[in-house]
């Protein structure tokens, strides 16, 4: 190990050349995640009270979703959909193992987390689409569009509760702080 490598705090244990932490979440994934959290919350809080800000926030969310879809195709390893979208049987088996607190640890998204990413992207896309529709002459004041918008929001809130619960459960089960890893981008390597 070179002297330059030893100077990186926390990068290596000093006992061997195995890193104590590895980079998993690139800056684009992390900025997307926390920006989506912030703008979704802002949009939710301003929905009926501050229409112009709500609409502008919806456009920002739409841009974030579009960027994440592109990054899911061409981004870093753990950001690509091909590396975390699993077959439904794999997801079901993972959830069964999770219920028994013996789920396999994944460096990137686990099968349930990957399914949650897809579900949230679909729901938020539905929110943005119906929100945009409500601003057009063709759909302004159309009740089913407003109802669909509200349904997508409520389903998304339910998914958020499940997502946070899954993050807490996986953090406890695998003894790692998944929220911190989405801030720093680092996780410990496989055991």
- pLDDT tens digits, residue range 103-156? 999 999 999 999 999 999 999 999 999 999 999 999 998 999 999 999 999 999
**Would you put residue 185 in left (φ > 0), alpha (ψ -120 to 50) or beta?**
left
What is the number of domains present in the chain?
A: 1
Q: What is the mean pLDDT of residues 5-25?
A: 59
Range of the domain at 120: 28-178
* 47 within some domain: yes
User: Is the model's pLDDT at 11 over the cut of 70?
Assistant: no
* 143 within some domain: yes
pLDDT at position 17 is 58
- pLDDT tens digits, residue range 36-80? 999 999 999 998 889 999 999 999 999 999 999 999 999 999 999
Q: What is the mean pLDDT of residues 160-167?
A: 96
* 3 within some domain: no
Q: What is the mean pLDDT of residues 151-165?
A: 97
pLDDT at position 49 is 86
* 72 within some domain: yes
pLDDT at position 18 is 58
* 11 within some domain: no
* 191 within some domain: no
User: Is the model's pLDDT at 85 over the cut of 90?
Assistant: yes
pLDDT at position 5 is 37
pLDDT at position 21 is 87
| DSSP-assigned states of every residue in 51-88 | HHHHHHHHHHHHHHHHHHHHHHHHS-GGGSGGGT---H
* 21 within some domain: no
pLDDT at position 20 is 83
User: Is the model's pLDDT at 9 over the cut of 80?
Assistant: no
Residue 75: count of CB within 10 angstroms of its CB = 18
User: Is the model's pLDDT at 29 over the cut of 90?
Assistant: yes
Which helix (H) or strand (E) element contains residue 128?
Answer: helix 111-134
* 148 within some domain: yes
């Amino acid at each position: 190990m070179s002297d330059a490598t030893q100077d990186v705090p926390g990068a290596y244990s000093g006992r061997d050349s195995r890193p104590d932490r590895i980079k998993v979440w690139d800056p684009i994934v992390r900025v997307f995640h926390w920006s989506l959290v912030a703008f979704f919350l802002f949009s939710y809080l301003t929905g009926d009270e501050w229409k112009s800000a709500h609409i502008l926030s919806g456009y920002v969310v739409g841009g974030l979703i579009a960027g994440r879809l592109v990054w899911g195709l061409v981004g870093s390893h753990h950001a690509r959909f091909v590396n975390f979208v699993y077959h439904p049987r794999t997801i079901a088996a993972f959830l069964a193992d999770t219920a028994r607190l013996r789920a396999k640890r994944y460096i990137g998204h686990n099968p349930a987390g990957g399914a949650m990413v897809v579900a949230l992207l679909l729901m938020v896309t539905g929110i943005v689409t119906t929100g945009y529709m409500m601003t057009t002459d063709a759909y302004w004041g159309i009740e089913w569009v407003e109802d669909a918008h509200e349904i997508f929001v409520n389903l998304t809130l339910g998914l958020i509760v499940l997502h946070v619960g899954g993050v807490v459960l996986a953090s406890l089960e695998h003894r790692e702080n998944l929220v911190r890893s989405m801030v720093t981008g680092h996780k410990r390597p496989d055991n």
